[in-house]
Structure 1
């Protein structure tokens, strides 16, 4: 039996180079089947009134990281799109960079579940600041990305 061919890590870069992800400055650090690490540098337009990363920005970063983790494990020509996402904010995201580390927990038919840990980093430390779970549905990749 021939092993299934999964999406290339380059697909994540292609998708990340468009729209909101690109405008926000999401940077892909690593992609391998079922795993993704995506980072975001602190900017004044990404923080809330206390100067910490805004919760909506954190959530969007997690959505992107989970989608990449799921998509990276799917057969070539398929993409994971969000069905549901739940996030818990554990501590202020007050570092100079925010990192989302996503891992596919389970793929069953067309539904995958991923978990994401968010780390806030500065020169001295890396601290857990949020955690989320995301449910993704596998769909056919739009023709422009095939």
Structure 2
């Protein structure tokens, strides 16, 4: 698990978009993962709520990490669906994801996204996605 944790942190650190948003791995216990993100003003839409794209980013990355954990391989998102439940306000966002079912080549995962203000949490979105194993990823820098 420790090796997977280090690889996950390295993967997140290698994503420029993750660094731009300021997301980080909050926890991982072998069954679920949590990604956190401070909710800054520049991540909000015109009404002052977290932008849907930010919520979608959190769900997508959390689903993918959970899928990698379940499959034990390099993965990519095949598809995901998100339901926005209420406007997201507060000081931070937290995505919690886990594997619903993992086979040999794909995993179905679930993610709930919460808006946090202090210790209080409100469920603001829920997502489900299919994560697929990949044997060799092409080098994006080549």
Q: TM-score, normalised by structure 2?
A: 0.89
1:73 positional shift = 2.6
- 1:80 aligned onto 2:99: no
- Provide, for residues 61-99 of structure 1, a one-character-per-residue CA deviation record: whole Å limited to 9, x for no partner: 111111111112333xx2221110100000111111000
- 1:8 aligned onto 2:4: yes
**Cα separation, 2, equivalents of 1:69 and 1:108:** 13
Unaligned segments of structure 2, at least 5 residues: none
- 1:97 aligned onto 2:92: yes
- 1:55 aligned onto 2:52: yes
- Provide, for residues 90-131 of structure 1, a one-character-per-residue CA deviation record: whole Å limited to 9, x for no partner: 011111100000001111221111000011010262111110
**Cα separation, 1, equivalents of 2:99 and 2:3:** 14
**Cα separation, 2, equivalents of 1:60 and 1:143:** 22
Q: 4+ runs of 1 displaced by more than 6 Å?
A: none
Q: Which residue of 1 aligns with 2:43?
A: 46
Unaligned segments of structure 1, at least 5 residues: none
**Cα separation, 1, equivalents of 2:11 and 2:108:** 20
Q: Aligned Cα RMSD in Å?
A: 2.0
Secondary structure of residue in 2 paired with 1:8:
helix
| Contact kept? 1:9, 1:32, Cα under 8 Å | no
Q: Which residue of 1 aligns with 2:28?
A: 31
How many residues were matched structurally? Answer: 138
| Contact kept? 2:60, 2:77, Cα under 8 Å | yes
